[in-house]
Amino acid sequence: MSDEKKILTITADDEGIRLDVCLVRAYPELSRSQLKKMILAGNVKHFERTITDPAYRVKQEQTFTLMVPHSEQIDLVPENINFDIHYEDDDLIVIDKPAGLVVHPGAGTPNGTLVNGLLHHCGSSLSGIGGVKRPGIVHRLDKDTSGLIVVAKNDRSHRCLSLQFEKRSVERAYHALAWGSPKPLSGQIEGRIGRHPHKRKQMAVVSENRGKFALTRFRTLKRYGLRVFKAECRLATGRTHQIRVHLAHIGHPLVGDPIYSRTTAARLSGISESDIESIKTCRRQALHAVTLGFVHPRSRLQMNFSSKFPKDLRNLESIFERVKSSS
C-alpha cells in the first residue's frame, strides 16, 4: 500500500510559524516528533521543492504536500454500514453520521468506519485527495458526535468544498446539552486551541503564542433550571474538539463528554436513581451537527441541510425537563 498523501494550504492564522508546528496543528493525530522526522526525511514538498528544515517559516497561501509512511498495512474493505443519506449526486454525498461511528480508519480502528461504508455504497467513485485511508473525506466529526457531514465523490468537488471550509464560508450549526446556566445567555468564545500541555490526547485553550485561533458563537435555546441548558453553537473556525473545549473553558462542559466533563454528584443531586442511570448510559458527548450549508461544486447553487436532534439526546432532554418540573 502506498504512503498517505496529505495536502495543507497555509491560512493567515499560520503565517510565519514553523513548518513542524503548523503541521502538528493541522494533523493532531501525528506527534511533533513524527512530523519532524518526516520533514527531515524529505517527505514534505512545496510544489516540486522538498522542504527538509522543520523550522522553515511558512507563508499564507503556500501549499504543502506531506507523504505519511504507513506504519501498518490497512486494506480498506467495503462494509455494509448503516447510515442515513440526506442527499447524493455525482459530485457529493451528505450523510447523517450516527454517534459511535469513526469517520476514517486509523490506529486501532482498521475497519467499521464511515469510509468502509462509503466504499460499499459508492464503490470507486470517491475523491482520492484525502489519501488511501480517507477517500472523499473533506471534514470530520468526532466518533461520538452525530450529525451532518459532506463527502466528495471526485477531486474537483473535494477541492471546491475544501476551499469553502478554508475560507470559513460553510454554514455549520450544532446543538448541544451542557452543564450549568450561562451568563450571558448568548455570546462568543474566543480562545486559541492547541494540545493540552500535559495530556497528549486532549486539546485545550492555550496561550497566545501556541495553538490556532478559534471562535465559537453560541446562544441558549432552552434552560432546564440552573442544571443544564441546550445551546446552538456555530463555528467560525474548525479546530479539533472546538465546541467541547470552548464550552468546558467557560465552565459549561457538554453532558456526557468523556474527556472534558465529569458527571459529579452535585450535578446529579435531586435526580432519581433510574434517571441517573439513564444519564450515565449515554456514553457520548451531547453534541449533534444539525445544519450544514455550502455552495455546490458544480451547480454553484447554495445547498442547506438539517438534521433532527437524535433519540438518545432527546431522551436526555426529557429527563432534564422532568427534573426541572419536579424541583
CATH class of 4-68: alpha beta
| pLDDT at 107 exceeding the cut of 70 | no
Q: Of 149-153, 262-266, 270-274, where does the model show the most confidence? A: 149-153
Q: What is the pLDDT of residues 122-162, one digit of tens each?
A: 987 788 766 666 788 999 999 999 999 999 999 999 999 99
Q: Of 109-118, 138-147, 259-268, where does the model show the most confidence? A: 138-147
CB 239 within 8 A of CB 193: yes
| pLDDT at 85 exceeding the cut of 60 | yes
Q: Would strands 193-195 and 203-205 be described as parallel, antiparallel, or unpaired? A: antiparallel
Mean pLDDT of the chain: 89
Q: What is the pLDDT of residues 199-234, one digit of tens each?
A: 877 899 998 878 889 999 999 999 999 999 999 999
The pLDDT value given to residue 74 = 59
Q: Selecting from 3.30.830.10, 3.30.2350.10, 3.30.70.3420, 3.40.50.720, what CATH number does the domain 84-166 have?
A: 3.30.2350.10
Q: Of 61-70, 108-117, 179-188, 203-212, where does the model show the most confidence? A: 179-188
CB 19 within 8 A of CB 54: yes
Claim: this prediction has a pTM higher than 0.85: no
DSSP 266-324: HHHTT--HHHHHHHHH--S-SEEEEEEEEE-TTT--EEEEE-PPPHHHHHHHHHHHHHH
CATH topology agreement for domains 84-166 and 171-295+307-326: yes
In DSSP terms, 304 is beta-bridged to 293
Least confident range from 17-26, 179-188, 252-261: namely: 17-26
Catalytic residue among 142, 144, 257, 312: 142
Q: How confident is the model at residue 64 (pLDDT cuts 50, 70, 90)?
A: very high
CA 151 – CA 119 distance, rounded (Å): 12
Average pLDDT over residues 257-271: 86
CA 118 – CA 95 distance, rounded (Å): 10
CATH superfamily of domain region 171-295+307-326: Pseudouridine synthase (3.30.2350.10)
Q: What is the pLDDT of residues 274-319, one digit of tens each?
A: 988 888 888 899 999 999 999 999 999 999 999 999 999 999 999 9
Average pLDDT over residues 262-275: 84
At CA 120, angle to CA 148 and CA 283, rounded to 5?
A: 45
Task: Read off φ and ψ for residue 110, nearest 5 degrees.
Answer: -75, -15
The pLDDT value given to residue 214 = 93
The pLDDT value given to residue 2 = 63
Strands (E), 120-192: 146-152, 171-179, 186-190
| Torsional class of 168: left (φ above 0), alpha (ψ -120 to 50), beta (otherwise) | left
The pLDDT value given to residue 250 = 96
| 155 among known catalytic residues | no
Kindly list the distances between the CA atom of residue 289 and the CA atoms of 18, 114, 175, 314, in Å, as whole numbers in the listed order: 33, 16, 7, 14
What residue segments make up the domains of the chain, in order of their start? 4-68, 84-166, 171-295+307-326
CA 161 – CA 295 distance, rounded (Å): 8
- Calculate the CA 321 to chain-centre distance: 29
The pLDDT value given to residue 246 = 97
CB 189 within 8 A of CB 180: no
Task: Read off φ and ψ for residue 177, nearest 5 degrees.
Answer: -105, 125
The pLDDT value given to residue 201 = 76
| pLDDT at 1 exceeding the cut of 60 | no
